[in-house]
Structure 1
Amino acid sequence: MMVFQVRLPRRRAAAMAAAVVMVAAAAAVLAGCFNGKEKPLTLADDPARVSYLQELGWQVESTPVETLDLQLPQELAETWGEYAAMQTAQGMPFADYAGQPVRRYTYRVTNYPGMEKGVQANLYLCGDVLIGGDIVATGKGGFQHGLEYPGV
């Protein structure tokens, strides 16, 4: 039987122990960031946002018709409650971003079944992270629903 003896100065042992603790803490923090959820979807530019909408079945114009910066309230229930519930139902983390600055990108939809015009797709992003979205038609017979393509 062979026995190895390692002499490790106290400073080096303390540094190694601290490094192990830091790595374990970082892993725990990163694991907690997603709380069992999927990795956030990042859409950094117009081509990425348009591509995402196309993957869902939507045909949209390549540039937004409007870009709007807004600040979500700390409490969404009063003004954004129903919208936040719709986002939760479609798996979007909108409610997690209460109190945060967000940007809404609005694209003109060109292939909504039975409607030639007047339909738009909204994507809400916090930084480059997609937090919510909807399809909306304004005016007479208007509607709003999640991003899922009708009939899918």
Structure 2
Amino acid sequence: MTASYILVWEGLHMFVVSMKTTRSRLLGVLLAAALVLFILLMQGCLPSEETGTVPMDGSSDEGRRACLTALGYQLATEPPQVREVLFPAEPDDVWLAYNALQQQAGTDLTPYRGQRVKCYTYTVLNYPGDETVEANVYIYKDQVIGGDISSTRQGGFRHGLIRKDGQSGATG
């Protein structure tokens, strides 16, 4: 079977490709192309095994709570505290250290420098120990771009929503 294809690129150039092939080879190439397309489309929709991230819907309180719950955190029922945060256009040492913490959890705030984002703060009920722990979730254009889990006590801890060891830090 001989097939000829005309490929037009940007309306300026025309290429004619002619090849000799069998139906089974053509079917194999089409299936491989469909598989590659499927993988590329699904990559943004599924948790990443490499970074341990979970896709998070930041458009509603219900979506943010569902994602934090999926990470293993039990949250208090009261509404979250909400504040607007301006990420610096020129990062200082504090911001760079915080972004390094985000990168350990599989997120990067660099593209959002100079942007105003919303920070939603939830109380976490099931973190080990007797201290008060909060989950901070940063939202830009209804998308979760990062966040952290932190202790409110002086000298407390802070780590990404997913720790470097791949665990959420929550219990039960």
Which band: TM-score by shorter chain? 0.5 to 0.7
* Secondary structure in 2 matching 1:79: helix
TM-aligned CA deviation for residue 119 of structure 1? 0.6
In structure 2, relative to structure 1, the CA distance for the partners of 1:38 and 1:76 (3 Å cut) is farther
The aligned residue for residue 90 of structure 2 is 75
Pair 140,99 (structure 1): closer, same or farther in 2 beyond 3 Å? closer
CA distance in structure 2 between the aligned counterparts of 1:53 and 1:121, rounded to whole angstroms: 8
Q: Deviations over 1:65-111 (max 9, x none)?
A: 31010211112243311111111121113121111110100000010
Distance 1:85 1:74 in 2: 16
Instruction: Name the counterpart of 1:150.
Output: 169
Partner of 2:109 in structure 1?
A: 94
Aligned pairs, how many? 118
1:12-27 superposed matches below 5 A: 17=11
Match of 1:119 in 2: 133
In structure 1, list runs of 5 or more residues that go unmatched. 1-15, 19-36
Q: Quickly say closer, same or farther: Cα 1:59–1:100, change in 2 above 3 A.
A: same
TM-score w.r.t. the length of structure 2 is 0.60
Given the alignment of the two structures, is residue 57 of structure 1 paired with residue 76 of structure 2, yes or no?
no
Q: What SS is found at the alignment partner of 1:17?
A: coil
Distance in 1 separating the partners of 2:57 and 2:85 = 19
CA distance in 1 between partners of 2:141 and 2:78 (Å): 18
Look up the equivalent residue of 1:131 and give its one-letter code: I
Q: Is the CA contact (8 Å cut-off) linking 2:75 and 2:122 kept in structure 1? A: yes
For residue 145 of structure 2, the aligned residue among 123, 126, 131 is: 131
% same residue = 37
Counterpart position of 1:7: none
More helix by share: 1
Indicate the SS of the match to 1:112.
coil
RMSD: 2.5
- 1:123 & 1:151 partners in 2: Cα distance? 16
